[in-house]
């Protein structure tokens, strides 16, 4: 009896929380970041309900409401000359937010969720914060604290929600991309991009999202400033140091944590293992399809690849490629993480997507990066700053520029930097998964994160930036200077008058 009681006392006791998880954006890469977290929370005994566009099945223990996919395209064209413009990104995101809010909140699955959970009490809401707050009406409906999720680094308007307004003097906007340190003109452009993004969010994302929330949920969207915590898919070893408040937690690497590379399909394993000079892996992500690849550029890449002793693996969805050289293999799908962590893979040619960047850092591979859209330019320059990435303009690159970029990336120094970045990226007091789970349970235990809320959130901007204090000091200094001026002038005047009187009497 005593032995049994002792064993029972040794069993860790944890409270089971009822958690609502929202990933209301139709981007599979966004969902992939936090899918392992949802499964881990469920495996720990927490009761999860998930609302998502993703068709992925995580666990039978997670009740899932699958939203119908909106009729919008997620495919980017490599032939679009405007695809890399940083100014249009907030505009495009604003239009996307209208699509996803309009579809998502009206979808039959979401309306069924509202009916079936009318009287349910949720302890916590995990919500992806991206291009609209329209789903945050659920926070007011269920009166539950919110933990924000971001599949990338914080967007330009999100830091202020947590009292960590980024300083554009040295913190680059997610829609920017500059060498570090920034020049004066870079800082000017960075500042203007930051202001532009914030204004666009306020006018064309926040207000329409709130209207959608009131219309389809029946509640105004919760103020994102009241979000208890923010789990962000970033890490200072990748994108640089910036001041973060305690309620912004970096968890980059969450989707590869404890993920062991799996054995590759035989044709890929043979191709990689038997490559005497190693393998170069070429993948432009899931949103860019090979049939948009400019024909002239395709031929340039093939001629450049033929000049290297390494074998090339190229993810190419568009059928066959009759003119490819013997050292190039194409396939419409490849297990990227398993390939990158293979010791015989020497280099990764990619588009600068964050998940690809994180996986390359985790596996210690150098990069040739050809950014196209969104945060990709930002990620590319961050890797360049780390000494592990070589930038290349895919649309205009010549054969010689392609060859030169690959040669630079294969230099011993670049490879050494990639290994050093891998060591720093992995060296943390807690794993990304353990960190995320701890903070989720912390917020649930304390019924919110008021104790972590920065005072700056509730202050007007002129107080945060000490404009009132600076104004007072400037006015005081001017008054003192004016008083001194008047005093000196008066003294000089009295002295002059006394001298004139003395001359008259003499």
Task: Provide DSSP, 167-182.
Answer: -TTTS--TT----SS-
Residue 261 lies in a domain: no
Is the same domain home to 444 and 418?
Answer: no
Is the same domain home to 128 and 29?
Answer: yes
Is the same domain home to 107 and 159?
Answer: yes
Instruction: Look up residue 161 and give its DSSP letter.
Output: G
Number of domains in the chain: 2
Does residue 37 contact residue 436 with C-beta atoms inside 8 Å? Answer: yes
Residue 98 lies in a domain: yes
Is the same domain home to 179 and 35?
Answer: yes
Which strands form 389-391's sheet, in the order they lie side by side? 328-331, 311-315, 279-282, 345-350, 367-369, 389-391
Give the 3-state secondary structure of residue 305.
helix
Is the same domain home to 422 and 439?
Answer: no
Residue 494 lies in a domain: no
Give the 3-state secondary structure of residue 299.
helix
Is the same domain home to 389 and 437?
Answer: no
For the CA atoms of 256, 37, 42, 333, the dihedral, rounded to the nearest 10 degrees, stands at -50
pLDDT at 251: 96
pLDDT at 53: 86
Which strands form 124-128's sheet, in the order they lie side by side? 63-66, 47-52, 18-23, 124-128, 146-150, 229-232, 248-250
Q: Which domain holds residue 147?
A: 15-256+431-458
Residue 32 lies in a domain: yes
Is the same domain home to 247 and 270?
Answer: no
The CATH number of residue 324's host domain is 3.40.50.2000
- For the chain, the average pLDDT equals 89
Is the same domain home to 181 and 330?
Answer: no
Residue 374 lies in a domain: yes
Strand partners for 282 = 314, 349
Cα–Cα distance, 475 to 420 (Å, whole number): 52
Residue 490 lies in a domain: no
pLDDT at 275: 96
Cα–Cα distance, 425 to 403 (Å, whole number): 29
Is the same domain home to 390 and 251?
Answer: no
Cα–Cα distance, 29 to 287 (Å, whole number): 9
Residue 125 lies in a domain: yes
pLDDT at 13: 46
Is the same domain home to 187 and 273?
Answer: no
pLDDT at 7: 46
Does residue 248 contact residue 164 with C-beta atoms inside 8 Å? Answer: yes
pLDDT at 10: 46
pLDDT at 9: 44
pLDDT at 288: 78
Is the same domain home to 300 and 200?
Answer: no
Low-confidence ranges of the chain (pLDDT < 70): 1-14, 70-77, 79-84, 497-506
Residue 176 lies in a domain: yes
Question: Is the pTM of the predicted complex or chain greater than 0.85?
Answer: yes
pLDDT at 268: 94
Is the same domain home to 139 and 25?
Answer: yes
């Amino acid at each position: 009896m005593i032995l049994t009681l002792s064993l029972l006392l040794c069993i860790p006791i944890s409270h089971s929380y009822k958690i609502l998880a929202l990933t209301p954006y139709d981007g599979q890469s966004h969902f992939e970041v936090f899918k392992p977290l949802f499964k881990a929370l469920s495996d720990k005994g927490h009761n999860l309900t998930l609302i998502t566009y993703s068709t992925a099945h995580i666990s039978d223990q997670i009740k899932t409401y699958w939203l119908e996919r909106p009729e919008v395209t997620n495919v980017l064209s490599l032939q679009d000359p405007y695809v890399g413009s940083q100014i249009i990104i907030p505009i495009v995101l604003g239009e996307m937010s209208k699509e996803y809010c309009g579809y998502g909140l009206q979808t039959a699955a979401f309306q069924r969720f509202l009916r079936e959970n009318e009287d349910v009490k949720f302890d916590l809401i995990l919500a992806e914060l991206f291009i609209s707050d329209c789903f945050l009406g659920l926070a007011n409906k269920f009166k539950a604290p919110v933990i924000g999720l971001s599949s990338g680094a914080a967007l330009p308007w999100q830091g202020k929600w947590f009292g960590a307004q980024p300083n554009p003097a040295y913190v680059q906007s997610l829609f920017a991309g500059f060498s570090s340190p920034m020049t004066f003109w870079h800082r000017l452009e960075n500042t203007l991009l930051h202001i532009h993004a914030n204004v666009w969010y306020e006018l064309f994302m926040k207000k329409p999202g709130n209207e959608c929330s009131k219309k389809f949920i029946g509640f105004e969207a919760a103020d994102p400033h009241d979000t208890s915590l923010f789990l962000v898919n970033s890490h200072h070893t990748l994108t640089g140091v910036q001041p973060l408040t305690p309620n912004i937690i970096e968890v980059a690497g969450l989707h590869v944590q404890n993920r062991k590379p799996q054995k590759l399909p035989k044709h890929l394993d043979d191709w990689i293992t038997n490559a005497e000079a190693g393998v170069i892996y070429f993948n432009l992500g899931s949103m860019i399809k090979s049939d948009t690849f400019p024909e002239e550029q395709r031929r340039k890449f093939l001629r450049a690849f033929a000049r290297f002793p390494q074998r090339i693996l190229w993810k190419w969805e568009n059928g066959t490629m009759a003119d490819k050289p013997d050292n190039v293999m194409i396939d419409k799908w490849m297990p990227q993480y398993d390939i990158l962590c293979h010791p015989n893979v020497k280099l990764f040619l990619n588009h600068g997507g964050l998940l690809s960047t994180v996986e390359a850092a985790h596996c210690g591979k150098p990069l040739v990066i050809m950014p196209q859209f969104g945060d990709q330019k930002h990620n590319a320059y961050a890797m360049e700053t780390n000494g592990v990435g070589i930038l290349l303009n895919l649309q205009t690159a010549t054969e010689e520029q392609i060859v030169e970029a690959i040669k630079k990336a294969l230099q011993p120094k670049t490879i050494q930097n990639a290994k050093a970045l891998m060591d720093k990226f992995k060296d943390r007091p807690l794993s990304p998964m353990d960190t995320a789970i701890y903070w989720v349970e912390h917020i649930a235990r304390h019924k919110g994160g008021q104790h972590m809320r920065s005072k700056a959130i509730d202050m007007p901007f002129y107080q945060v930036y000490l404009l009132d204090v600076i104004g007072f000091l400037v006015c005081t200094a001017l008054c003192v200077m004016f008083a001194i001026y008047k005093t000196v002038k008066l003294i000089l005047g009295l002295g002059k008058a006394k001298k004139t009187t003395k001359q008259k009497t003499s």
